[in-house]
Amino acid sequence: MCKKLTKILAYPRHIHYKKRAFLYALDEVIIPLYQHSKKMIPIKISVAKGDGIGPEIMDAVLRIFDAAQVPLSYDFIDMGKGVYDMGFTTGMTDEAKTSVESTGILFKGPMETPKGGGVKSINVTARKTWNTHSNIRKFQTIKGVDTVFSKAGIPINLTIVRENIEDTYGGIEHYMTKDVAVSRRIISRPGSEQVIRSAFETALKEGYKKVTCGHKANIMKLTDGMFLDTFYDIAKEYPQLETEDVIVDALCMKLVYAPQEFECVVLTNLQGDIVSDLCAGLVGGLGFAPSANLGDHIKIFEAVHGTAPDIAGQNKANPTSLLLSGVLMLNQMGLEHYGSAIRNALLDTIDIGVHTGDFGEDRSKSVGTIEFADAIIKKLDLSTITDSSPEKYHKPTLLTQNKMMVSSDEIIETVGIDLFIECETQADKIAEIVQANLDDHMELTTITNRGTQVWPEGSVFTNLVDTYVVRIEKSTTAEIKKKKFMEQAIRLYDYLNIGSIEMLISIDGKRKYSLAQGQKVNALS
C-alpha cells in the first residue's frame, strides 16, 4: 500500500489526487493488461511438416516457438509426397490451398517430389501458384560452424535475392526432333521489376550499402539485357545505395575468394538457384541457409535442404535451416523481438559446442534433434521480448481475377519470322527452296543451326543437327501485317517440315530479336 501511495504521489502535484490515482491505474493495470492481451492474440499460419526429416525438424522448431511464447497458432495441412501418392498431381490438397490463401503464410518443411510420372516439383508449384516472386536467402557466418572463411577470420554477411517465377523454371520444353530438345526462357520487365525492387528494399532493411546485379547480358543480350536494364532503372529510386553489375561466372569466382565484398545480390531464377547454393557452401552448407519466398499476398518460408530419408525418424536431423527460416518469417510478420531472441539462443547454443551430428569439431559429442531444440530453449532470454506487433501483419486480400502487369505503350511492329524446321540436308538446298517460294517484300536473311549461321556464310567445321532456323525478314520499309508472315509460313509448309514458328518484332523501331552467330544485319535492322 505504501508503494502504491508513493507512486500515486509521484505524479506532478498540479494534477488532482484522483486524476493521479487514475493515471496510476492506467500505467500499472490497464495498459499492461492491454499489452498482455495483444500478445495473447495468436496469428494463424499454415504449416506443412513435409517429408523425410521434415516432421521432426518442424516439431523441434515449433517446440522452440512455444517456449518463446510466440503468438502463433497453426493450421496443419497436407502437402508433399503423401499427397502425390493420393493422386493429387499438384502435391497439395484443396484444403491446403484454401488454408494458405486464408492465412497468407506457409511455413513448410522439406518435401519430396516423386520421380517420373510427369508431376511438377511441389516447391516450384507452390511458388508459382501464389506468385511468390522473390526468393530471399541470407547467409551469415555462424560462430561454431567452421568453414574456410571462419577459420581465416573473414566474416560473411550477404543476401541472395532470386527471381522465383520466370526464366527456364517456367518448364516450357519440348522435343523438336528426335535429337533436339528446346527449353524456352521467359524474362519479363514487370517480373524483373518485382524482384529487383525486393532486392533494394531488402538491402535497406538489412542496413546494406550496396546492391549487385548478377547477369549474363554479354551473351543473352535480350533476356538478361532486359533484367540488367531494369536493375539500373529501379536503382534510380534508391540513390542512397551503391550499385554494380557482375557477369555471373565472374560473380561465382569472386564469391569464392572474396565473399566479404558482396552484401545483396539479385539474379534471375536459374542463375540465382546456382549462386545461392554456392553461398550456402560458404557458411557451412544448406543446413544453415534460411529461405523466404515473398509475394504481394502470400509468403512461404521453408528449409532449402532435402528430405534426408536415410536419417528420417532417427532424431539426427539438424533443424537450424528451418529455424532460421522461421526467424525470417517472424521478422516479416512484425514479430522481430521473438525472432531476435530465438536466433540469439540458437547462436549461443552452437557457440558453446552443442550441435547435431552433421557439423561441429567433435562429432562424437553431438546431440539429437530434440536435445538440440531443448538446448536452444534453455538459452532463450524472454526478457528481450519487449514488444510483439502482430498488428503489422495483414492477411492477404481476397482476389477475384489475375492481375495484368503491362509496361508503357510502345510501337510494336512485326518485321520477320523464324521457322524452326526438321531437315537432314545441307543449308544451301534449304535456301533454294525458300527463295523459290518467297512473297514480295520478303527476303531470306539467314539459316542457322544451334544458333550458328550456316547460310549465306558459314564454316564447314560447324557440326549440324537436324533442326535449322530459317529467318525471313521484310525487305521494305512499308508495314507488313503479321498475317502475311503467317501466310508465308503456310506456303513454305508444303516444302519444309516446320515444327515451330517465332514472330520477329521491333519496338519503337529497334530490333528485338537476337542475331545468329555470324549473321550480318540487313539494311532495315
Q: What is the pLDDT of residue 144?
A: 87
Query: Domain check: are 269 and 188 in the same one?
Result: yes
Instruction: Please identify, among 243, 260, 294, the residue that sits at the C-terminal boundary of a domain.
Output: 294
Please indicate, yes or no, if residue 175 is contained in any of the structural domains.
Answer: no
Q: Which DSSP helix (H) or strand (E) runs through 474? A: strand 467-474
Same domain, residue pair 117 and 152: no
What confidence score (pLDDT) does residue 391 get?
Answer: 55
pLDDT in tens, the chain (525 residues): 444 444 544 555 555 555 555 555 555 555 444 444 445 578 999 999 999 999 999 999 999 999 999 999 999 999 999 899 888 888 999 999 999 999 999 999 999 988 766 677 888 889 999 999 999 999 999 988 988 998 899 999 999 999 999 999 888 899 989 999 999 999 999 999 999 999 999 999 999 999 999 999 999 999 999 999 999 999 999 999 999 999 999 999 999 999 999 999 999 999 999 999 999 999 999 989 999 999 999 999 999 899 999 999 999 999 999 999 999 999 999 899 999 999 999 999 999 989 998 876 665 578 999 999 999 999 999 888 876 555 566 777 778 888 888 876 778 899 999 999 999 999 999 999 999 999 999 999 999 999 999 999 999 999 999 999 999 999 999 999 999 999 999 999 999 999 999 999 999 889 999 988 777 776 555
Angle between helix 54-67 and helix 369-378 axes, rounded to 10 deg: 20
522 domain-assigned = no
The confidence score (pLDDT) of residue 36 equals 45
Distance, CA of 50 to CA of 108 (rounded, Å): 6
**Is residue 476 domain-resident?**
yes
Helix/strand/coil (H, E, C) string of 484-515?
A: HHHHHHHHHHCCCEEEEEEEEEEECCEECCCC
In angstroms, rounded to a whole number, what is the distance separating the alpha carbons of residues 122 and 90?
7
Output Rg (C-alpha) for the chain, integer angstroms: 29
Q: Residue 519: inside a domain, yes or no?
A: no
Q: Which domain holds residue 20?
A: 2-37
Residue 50 domain-assigned (yes or no):
yes
3-state DSSP assignment of residue 158: strand
The continuous run of DSSP H or E covering 67 comes out as: helix 54-67
- The span from the CA of 75 to the CA of 60, in Å, is 17
Question: Is the Cα torsion angle 19, 25, 28, 31 positive or negative in sign?
Answer: negative
Determine how many CB atoms are found less than 10 A away from the CB of residue 354.
Answer: 20
Single-letter amino acid code for the residue at 64: I
Q: Is residue 235 part of a domain?
A: yes
Judge whether 424 and 466 are in contact, CB under 8 Å: yes
Q: State whether residue 467 is helix, strand or coil.
A: strand
Beta bridge partners of 105: 299
Number of structural domains, the chain? 4
Distance CA 346, CA 99 (A): 30
Residues 127 and 144 reside in one and the same domain:
no
CA distance 53 to 309: 7
Residue owning grid cell 533436339: 180
Q: Is 98 in the same domain as 63?
A: yes
CA distances from residue 185 to 169, 170, 273, 283, 464 in whole angstroms, order as listed: 8, 7, 15, 31, 23
Together in a domain, 97 and 226: no
User: How far is the C-alpha of 330 from the C-alpha of 147, rounded, in Å?
Assistant: 28
Q: Establish if 177 belongs to a structural domain.
A: no
